[in-house]
Amino acid sequence: MAEDDPRILVSTEWLGAHLKDPDLRILDATTFLPGTGRDARAEYEMTHIPGARFFDIDDISDHRSDLPHMAPTTEKFMSRLRAMGVGDGHQVVVYDTHGLFSAARVWWLFRLMGQGDIAVLDGGLPKWQEEGRPIEDMPPIVRDRHMTVRRQNHMVKDVTQVSAASKLGDHTILDARAAERFRGEAPEPREGLRAGHIPGAHNVPYTDLLNADGTMKGTEALRAVFDSAGADLTKPVITTCGSGITAAVINLALARIGHMDNALYDGSWAEWGAFPTVPVATGEA
């Protein structure tokens, strides 16, 4: 169960107690990997937590980039959230239908934009429904709300910065992909990408940070996962994954154990694996 922190992670009990708070805003941030045949928005429209808005990760992104769902400009983020009725003074809770998967990406994105009052719902919609808590299919009543955005550029890294960190060893690089992909033993789901990992990176599959029910492990168990992966948390951390979604689960876990000096490599393997001039390692870290 989450140790409730409205800036990191809250339990279904916490959300149930605060569901009718006037300044609470709930976001469904579900997204599905290509090829699943599932439509996140359609599923949201059929079933969501009362009052929830749908946060479309692919729409609220930088469409000038060929890479998937890169962080949007501050102007686009502000305009989209204002249209959703989310702004200054709101406590935001974000969830997804997996349990804990893409919700962490939106939590990180809000923090990138200088918004601190946001938490992930521990266990997401599955836990909420298993407990028999209310759901609805009605669209929320939306009123515009101004949002002040102050982009925190230190929270995101590009390929040049990650390449330098890999060479210098002055950051700990943590890769959230499954072990087989990290080692280069399994093909990448996106065509044209090399197999393997960033040299010097350590593998922390995001699923290792979760309990069987999709909730996040407790602080001591999280520290044990990082220790077993050989992650030196005395250094700043850069997280990475396939396309910048599950990397944010590591950022969330780091925040939960009090490690705030971390950033996310937004291009992740979708960029590194296609970039011809950067090296690729295979096998164990």
pTM: 0.97
Distance, CA of 176 to CA of 203 (rounded, Å): 6
Show which residues are catalytic: 241
Domain final position from 102, 133, 151 = 151
Q: What's the mean pLDDT in 59-77?
A: 96
Residue for token digits 């925040």? Answer: 255
Q: Give the pLDDT of residue 285.
A: 74
Looking at the fold, whether 92 and 184 belong to one and the same domain comes out as no
Partners of 246 in beta bridges: none
| 2 has pLDDT over 80 | no
Q: What's the mean pLDDT in 162-168?
A: 98
Looking at the fold, whether 244 and 187 belong to one and the same domain comes out as yes
Structural domain harbouring 21: 9-151
How sure is the predictor about 244, in pLDDT bands with cuts at 50, 70 and 90?
very high
74-77 contacts at long range (C-beta below 8 A, 24 or more positions apart)? 74/113, 74/149, 74/151, 77/109, 77/113, 77/147, 77/149
Looking at the fold, whether 238 and 183 belong to one and the same domain comes out as yes
169-207 confidence digits (pLDDT tens): 999 999 999 999 999 999 888 888 999 999 999 999 999
How sure is the predictor about 110, in pLDDT bands with cuts at 50, 70 and 90?
very high
Q: Do the Cβ atoms of 152 and 114 come closer than 8 Å? A: yes
Q: Is 92 exposed, middle or buried (0-12, 13-18, 19+ CB in 10 A)?
A: buried
- What total of structural domains would you count in the chain? 2
Q: Give the pLDDT of residue 276.
A: 87
Instruction: Establish if 19 belongs to a structural domain.
Output: yes
Looking at the fold, whether 145 and 158 belong to one and the same domain comes out as no
| 99 has pLDDT over 60 | yes
Instruction: Establish if 140 belongs to a structural domain.
Output: yes
Residue for token digits 């164990």? Answer: 284
Distance, CA of 198 to CA of 202 (rounded, Å): 9
Q: Give the pLDDT of residue 36.
A: 83
| 1 has pLDDT over 70 | no
For the record, the structure tokens of 58 come out as: 């692919």
Looking at the fold, whether 140 and 212 belong to one and the same domain comes out as no
Instruction: Establish if 1 belongs to a structural domain.
Output: no
Q: Do the Cβ atoms of 205 and 179 come closer than 8 Å? A: yes
Instruction: Establish if 225 belongs to a structural domain.
Output: yes
111-162 confidence digits (pLDDT tens): 999 999 999 999 999 999 999 999 999 999 899 899 999 999 999 999 999 9
CATH of the domain at 129: 3.40.250.10
31-50 confidence digits (pLDDT tens): 998 778 899 999 999 999 99
Distance, CA of 59 to CA of 195 (rounded, Å): 28
Domain final position from 133, 151, 169 = 151
How sure is the predictor about 250, in pLDDT bands with cuts at 50, 70 and 90?
very high
DSSP, residue by residue, 226-264: HHHTT--TTS-EEEE-SSSSTHHHHHHHHHHTT---EEE
